[in-house]
Amino acid sequence: MAQSPVLKAGGLSVTRGTRAVIHKLDLEIFQGDIVCFVGENGSGKTTLIESLVGILPLTKGQVEWFSEKDESLIVRSYSGTREKPYPFGLTLQSDGVCGEEKVTERLITALNVSGIDCSQTEAKQILEEWGMSHRGGDRVSQLSAGLSRRLAVISGMAPAMLCESPRIVFLDEPSEGLDSFSKGVLKKWISELSQYGNAVVIASHDEEIISCSRRILTIESGEISESNNTIEEGVVEERQFLNERQSKSISSLFSWSYSIERRNPVDTIGKATPAILALLLSYSVLTGMDTTQATLSNTNIGNHLAAALILTPAFISAVISPAMIRRLSEEECGKWWSAVCGPQFRPATSIMASSILLPLPLTYLSWFVLEGSLPVDSSEEILRWLWLPSLVIIDISCAATALHLLVSDLRRSGAAAASLLLIVLIWPFMELVDALSVIMEVGMSSEISIGSPLASIIFASIISAMVWAVAVIIPEA
């Protein structure tokens, strides 16, 4: 079988902090290759794999992938270009699996992301070969470290093992934590993947796994030297390659997040609880003031205060960090999704994880709870237009989620700057307060001029959209 390239890296340089981890690397990987990166801890093996799949930005050079039809795709370049790779398999050093996922669910998700439909029965057969079929219904958090690692390896290799056309598989320390039985299955699968034309790229310290490789690349001080390894060749079966199936990464990401949230709705509860507490606090303050009605009615800030109290619960639910951000931070789960989804991951996540359902009901709930204590006369007019600022709060929520994702970067979840960056979202919130206060005072107007409700609402939406755009673009630059 003639070898065709599946990946090329030209002049690849990667800097982490102030240190050049990879320096001017040129690399070609072909169909059927088994390439192993070796080197001391911290030499750059993981960095190289993450660069080749497009996760990390490059200082110089570019990474180019090739389809079965020899169509090229620049997955990552030093100029900031990033494209979604062709479907592939990936096992990260830290598993990349959320603890709330179920075992069978995780395997099916990994296959669906690559465009491969897999039934529960087929998934069970795969797990059975690895001795894990009896744990199919368990959550990943209930598994031992060894079984969790086994699942991560299965999920990384299955998309190539079950595909009709050759793919590339990246395995970062796949044998780490595996017992002798699992290591034997791993070696068998690596050999079979290569025989079917798949390229397997491995980072490992394990001599047994290194001995399975045809090409050994030693990384030292940012430089790479290559040596060949003679291994016993198996019989290469001819296969009828079919057209590449389209991956379903974004739809799979949505299904994954919905399934986990439905199973454990901590996100909805976590956002609604402080919002309702803020509403109850506003109600207790207003009802506890004997002169509230008179005081508010005779001051210029009356309507502004009323509008702020009505919109505050929805705003609080919008800016709270979503549970999905924390889930993606588990075992570098978000890094895995970023690799398979490409540049669409960050904008898609910022929308999926945002508070889309809560702002509208919370705003109307605030109105009905506080109405009796507020100095308003045009209740029908307010009810008719209360939904409009609520929709813009959804825009604010998307921007807030994008900021949380930017700051956490899925590697620095403890960064203290998140709350400071969120201050910028006070601006669109105050524009909405201004708009609602005018509606409460003189009603809604279709006029778009400075100070009009519609102009303030549009301006708030534009500000939120700009914050969102900046937050999703910066990490890819």
Query: Quick one: 235 and 267 in the same domain?
Result: no
Residue 62, SS3 per DSSP: strand
Residue 12 has pLDDT above 70, yes or no: yes
- CATH number for the domain harbouring residue 86: 3.40.50.300
pLDDT at 115: 87
Q: The tokens 């570098």 sit on which residue?
A: 332
Q: Are residues 135 and 265 in the same domain?
A: no
More confident residue, 228 or 190: 190
**pLDDT for position 244:** 41
Token pair for 235: 């019989």
Phi, psi at residue 415, to the nearest 5°?
-60, 130
Between residues 140 and 305, which one has the greater pLDDT?
140
Residue-number span of the structural domain to which 352 is assigned: 250-476
Same structural domain, 141 and 275: no
Q: Are residues 289 and 228 in the same domain?
A: no
- State how many domains the chain has: 2
Strand partners, 8: 28, 64
Q: What is the mean pLDDT of residues 18-33?
A: 88
Do 218 and 310 have their domain in common? no
Rounded to whole angstroms, the Cα distance separating 165 from 291 reads 76
Same domain membership, residue 169 and residue 64: yes
The answer on pLDDT for 413 being more than 50 is no
Given this model, what pLDDT does residue 476 score?
Answer: 65
- pLDDT at position 247: 56
User: In whole angstroms, what is the distance from residue 201 CA to residue 67 CA?
Assistant: 17
Residues contacting 303, CB < 8 A, separation 6+: 375, 376, 437, 438, 440, 441
Task: Tell me phi and psi for residue 441, to 5 degrees.
Answer: -90, -50
The last residue of one of the domains, among 247, 265, 286, is 247
**Residues 163 and 184 placed together within one structural domain of the fold:** yes
The pTM assigned to this predicted structure is: 0.86
114, 20: one domain: yes
Mean pLDDT of 172-192: 93
Residue-level pLDDT at 378: 58
279 contacts 313 by C-beta, under 8 angstroms = yes
Residues 223 and 263 in one domain: no
**Final residue in a domain of this structure, among 198, 231, 247:** 247
Using alpha carbons, select from 120, 84, 78, 82 the residue that is nearest to residue 103: 120
Beta carbons within 8 Å of 119's beta carbon, 6+ residues apart: none
The tens digit of pLDDT for each residue in 243-301 reads: 344 557 888 899 899 888 888 888 888 888 899 998 888 888 777 654 445 455 544 45
Contact (Cβ atoms closer than 8 angstroms) between residue 392 and residue 436: no
Q: 266 and 157, same structural domain?
A: no
Highest mean pLDDT (candidates 10-24, 222-236, 429-443): 429-443
Mean of the per-residue pLDDT values of the chain: 85
Per-residue model confidence as pLDDT tens digits over 101-159: 999 999 999 999 988 888 899 999 999 999 999 999 999 999 999 999 999 999 999 99
Picking from 190, 216, 247, the residue at the C-terminal end of a domain is 247
Please indicate whether residue 324 or residue 239 has the higher confidence score (pLDDT). 324
- Determine the residue type at 287: T
**285 and 144 housed in the same domain:** no
User: Residues 211, 340: one domain?
Assistant: no
In sequence order, the 6+-apart residues with CB closer than 8 A to the CB of 426 are none
Average pLDDT score over residue span 316-335: 89
- The reported pLDDT for the residue numbered 289 is 59
Distance of alpha carbon 397 from alpha carbon 401, whole angstroms: 6
